[in-house]
Amino acid sequence: FCLQELRRQFPGSHRVKRLTGMRFEAMERYDDAIQLYDRILQEDSTNTAARKRKIAIRKAQGKNLEAIRELNEYLEQFVGDQEAWHELAELYINEHDYAKAAFCLEELMM
């Protein structure tokens, strides 16, 4: 009910759309959430929150290689995002790619 009211009051709001996507995630409707985040990104390719939610979904699904690919794409645009570098380092460590993890951690120190 709350989401319906928010959608009515704020049609087209990316924040409300993102909240809807997070509800989809909570219900494990990952494909619906990803489609919603993709629509947000079509309207605003610089929406970092939608990009990060997509990465979180890949991780929740156990699709670490896809999460790594998307994080690398994200970091091409947002090089200064230290949280993303840390996340990428953790993913590389989980995949036993220590050289790439070390590079990510070096980026954190710079």
CA distances from 109 to 11, 77, 80 (A): 41, 19, 11
pLDDT in the model for residue 1? 77
CB 72 within 8 A of CB 58: no
Work out the mean pLDDT of the chain and round it to a whole number: 96
pTM of structure: 0.88
- 25 and 53 Cβ atoms separated by less than 8 Å: yes
Q: Collect all residues with Cβ–Cβ distance below 8 Å to 58 and sequence separation of at least 6.
A: 64, 66, 67, 70
Residue 104 DSSP class: H
Distance between CA atoms of 109 and 19, rounded to whole angstroms? 33
Q: What is the pLDDT of residue 110?
A: 83
pLDDT, position 52: 97
Write down the domain spans for the chain: 1-61, 64-110
Q: Three-class SS of residue 12? A: coil
Return the pLDDT at 57: 98
Mean pLDDT over 66-94 rounds to 97
Residue 72 burial (C-beta neighbours within 10 Å; 0-12, 13-18, 19+): middle
The mean per-residue pLDDT over the stretch 88-96 comes to 98
107 SS3 class: helix
